[in-house]
Amino acid sequence: MQRRSLGVLLLWLLAVSASIVVLAADPSKEPFTIRISCGSFDDVRTAPTNTLWYRDFGYTGGRFANATRPSFIIPPLKTLRHFPLSDGAENCYYINNVPNGHYQVRLFFALVADPNLDSEPIFDVSVEGTLFSSLLLGWSSEDEKTFAEALVFVQDSSLSICFHSTGHGDPSILSIEVLQIDDSAYKFGPLWGKGTVLRTAKRLTCASGKPAFDEDLNGVHWGGDRFWLGVKTLSSSSDDQPISTENVIAETLLAPNFYPQSIYQSAIVGTDRQPSLSFEMDVTPNRNYSVWLHFAEIENGITAEQERVFDVLINGDTAFKDIDIIRMTGERFTALVLNKTIVVTGTTLTVILQPVKGTHAIISAIEVFEIITAEKKTLTQEVSALRTVKGSLGLPLRLGWNGDPCVPQQHPWSGVECQFDDTKDHWVIDGLGLDNQGLRGVISGDISKLQHLQSINLSGNSIKGNIPLTLGTISGLQVLDLSYNELNGSIPDSLGQLASLQILNLNGNDLSGRVPASLGGRPLHRARFNFTDNAGLCGIPGLHECGPHLSVAAKIGMAFGQGKLLMQNLGPILHGTCKWPNISVHMKALEAATMKARHICFLISCQRWEFLIERHTYLGAEAEDDVGVAAVGEWVADGQVHAAHHAHLEQPKKALHRSRPSSLN
């Protein structure tokens, strides 16, 4: 009967109770698995396990190339995909229709078989927006560094794997594996869950000396396909002794980690001269690590409890005391797994197995994972809006804009500024800086879906089309710089709704019409607006006046279209000429009246305006001084404009009561 110490059992219960509840895998069903042979036009199978690799189609951009395998542990594939910097600094594989769950994601890297390209690129790798691996100089000459592996949760039925250039060569990817594992696999304690990513830092099988994968070891597929690097000694300076057995090992291939039996059939033990065992590896300082130690009592001379007892020290602290494998498992040839989470402040992680009673220390396998806090992603609707803006503006490939705009934080999108919104628990976009980028598209109205924007700078490009009306709905916008483009049309009145706007640069475009009154007075409130170098703009200081430069018929012809009055042109004309008070109130009345308008009569100049709106929209005005004022009546029929009446009024007040011109009757 299997027995466990009370202390170990209590620790196990505490860990389970504090962890997130997830469903265990059903070993009778096959897990979701996809393997991609990057750069391949056809599906490929590889020996010795006849593993199927799917062709690389529809996942990403980049270039195809033949591959040079720098290590014998790399799958025997012949092609790869690489990403020149000219295609952007961030490039991603997007894998859709992935069932939500827990996954082992592994990437193998290779070199492009082209002597003209940098032989060893240096780049970063992220999964679901979380940076988990950095390929450093010399990676191609070390087996363990030719691949990167992470355990990650998929929560929205899709998976993104991104490669971030550091400016040293083209990221080159040989293969991608996405292997579903048990939802509770490698549960290390209360901090474990969907908010963490585990990066595989080390995985050793002791004494075999032969690297192998779980598939090679006849492992259960729900355990993934872990790579075990075989070592015959834990240290080049130690006096370790390898041992092995062909006996069946109990308690293997069990949920949630499904460890293969083979890793427990060999072990390294201490010797009389050096009874302790010591393992050391380099790590990133100030990080959390999860250490998994594997044992089975397979030595022929150890048959009972108390014959081998040892402590486990990690970085000098006792992690496990009085480990007696037979006592804790109940019998020989039975697997035992111990797990400890530690904080490493230095650059080295050291594990020492120190005998306390009986003979020498023993160990079968070691796993070390770096615990990485998963990045919070950018709001989905803002990512979607940015992609629409990317397409409409015609962003060049070199800007990239792939993956998540804000994460990993080390590699945000070029020209995008991010801010973390605590209330939404997501990143949001608060700035766009795409000035002088050679953009030749148009500004999509979907830019207004970026409701957290405070600054937009698209100056110095060749952007065409109109200024979207929807820009006026971005309430927090403080800076809008669209200068020196090829924008046309009028300035939307909606921009006047931007109460926070402090800088507005529309100079150097092909805009026309009157500057909205709501913007014309804004500089008085310490805002800085620039409308110059737009030949068709008028109506504020620094620009020509709208009225005197066009004939009355031409002005009203611009205002009318097929018999309909465009009051957004007429209203600012009157306001700019006469500084008419309460313009917004009067404009609403004018707009309502002129929906059916066919006639209009107005004064060219005045000091104070009062308008009388009649059913047929005969507009009169009076000036309470002795200055003569010219009145003009216009008759609009079937979209045609005709001068109807023009007179010099000695007594302007009569203008309000005079009869309509005969042509209006």
Q: What are phi and psi of 66, to 5 degrees?
A: -75, 150
CA distance linking residue 441 with residue 221, whole number of Å: 49
CA distance linking residue 516 with residue 510, whole number of Å: 16
Contacts of 349 (CB under 8 A, 6+ apart): 280, 281, 282, 283, 289, 291, 314, 315, 342, 368
Contacts of 492 (CB under 8 A, 6+ apart): 466, 467, 468, 469, 471, 472, 516
Q: Which helix (H) or strand (E) holds 230?
A: strand 227-231
What value does the mean pLDDT take over residues 462-480? 97
Least confident of 206-215, 461-470, 619-628: 619-628
pLDDT band (50, 70, 90) for residue 54 = very high
* Structural Rg of the chain based on CA atoms: 37
614-633 confidence digits (pLDDT tens): 222 323 333 333 332 222 33
CA distance linking residue 411 with residue 166, whole number of Å: 10
* Angle value at C-alpha 319, between 365 and 300, nearest 5 degrees: 45
Give the SS3 label for residue 247: coil
Domains of the chain: 33-180 (2.60.120.430), 199-373 (2.60.120.260), 380-538 (3.80.10.10)
Q: Does residue 603 carry a pLDDT above 80? A: no
E-strand stretches of 551-639? 560-561, 564-565, 599-603, 629-637
Give the model's pLDDT for residue 618.
29
324-374 confidence digits (pLDDT tens): 999 999 999 999 999 999 999 999 999 999 999 988 999 999 999 999 999
E-strand stretches of 455-583? 455-457, 464-465, 479-481, 486-489, 503-505, 510-514, 528-530, 536-538, 560-561, 564-565
Give the model's pLDDT for residue 374.
97
Give the model's pLDDT for residue 522.
61
Distances from the Cα of 551 to the Cα of 345, 543, 558, 630, angstroms: 80, 18, 11, 14
Give the model's pLDDT for residue 624.
31
Q: What average pLDDT does the chain have?
A: 81
pLDDT band (50, 70, 90) for residue 238 = confident
- pLDDT top residue among 22 and 457: 457
For residue 54, give both structure tokens.
């799917």
156-198 confidence digits (pLDDT tens): 999 999 999 998 999 999 999 999 999 999 999 988 999 999 9
Give the model's pLDDT for residue 621.
32
Q: Does residue 100 carry a pLDDT above 90? A: yes
Give the model's pLDDT for residue 118.
60
CA distance linking residue 589 with residue 129, whole number of Å: 54
Which residues are registered as beta bridge partners of 641?
636
